């Protein structure tokens, strides 16, 4: 599991940097305006699953949020404040399967 602290700023002249997904998941440091773009280079769909920590304001466990990325496609994934682990300010995401899947950690 890798931790990513600094999202790449979107600039019209800069190439987007993609990171390979970790086999046991990855964690990104939350910041307002940050998001992921998942890239699936395989011939089958993959699912990125965000598992928030803790309970919502009603005292109910926060639900798991899956994002399905079609074969050969890119998918933007929002990083919402509700997904943040309050102990360290990070959002955990794990992909399955992981073969030829990568993501870019970006901010507006």
pLDDT, tens digit, for every residue of 50-65? 999 988 889 999 999 9
What pLDDT is attached to residue 20?
Answer: 94
**Is residue 33 very low, low, confident or very high in pLDDT (cuts 50, 70, 90)?**
very high
What pLDDT is attached to residue 56?
Answer: 86
Measured in degrees and rounded to the nearest 5, phi and psi for residue 56 equal: -85, -175
The domain of 69 spans: 2-107
pLDDT tops 70 at residue 12: no
Average of pLDDT values for 10-22?
86
For residue 34, the cross-strand partners are 107
pLDDT tops 80 at residue 1: no
**62 with 53: CB under 8 angstroms?**
yes
CB atoms within 10 A of CB 29: 17
- Give the model confidence (pLDDT) of 80-95 as tens digits: 999 999 999 999 999 9
Q: How many domains does the chain have?
A: 1
Which pTM value belongs to this model?
Answer: 0.90
């Amino acid at each position: 599991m890798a931790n990513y602290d600094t999202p790449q700023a979107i600039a019209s002249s800069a190439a987007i940097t993609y990171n390979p997904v970790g086999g046991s998941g990855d964690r990104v440091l939350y910041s307002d305006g940050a998001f992921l773009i998942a890239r699936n280079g395989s011939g089958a769909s993959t699912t990125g699953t965000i598992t928030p920590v803790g309970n919502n304001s009603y005292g109910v466990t926060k639900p798991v949020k899956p994002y399905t990325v079609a074969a050969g496609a890119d998918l933007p994934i929002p990083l919402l404040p509700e997904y943040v682990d309050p102990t360290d300010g990070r959002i955990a995401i794990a992909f399955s399967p992981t073969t030829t899947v990568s993501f870019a950690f970006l901010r507006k």
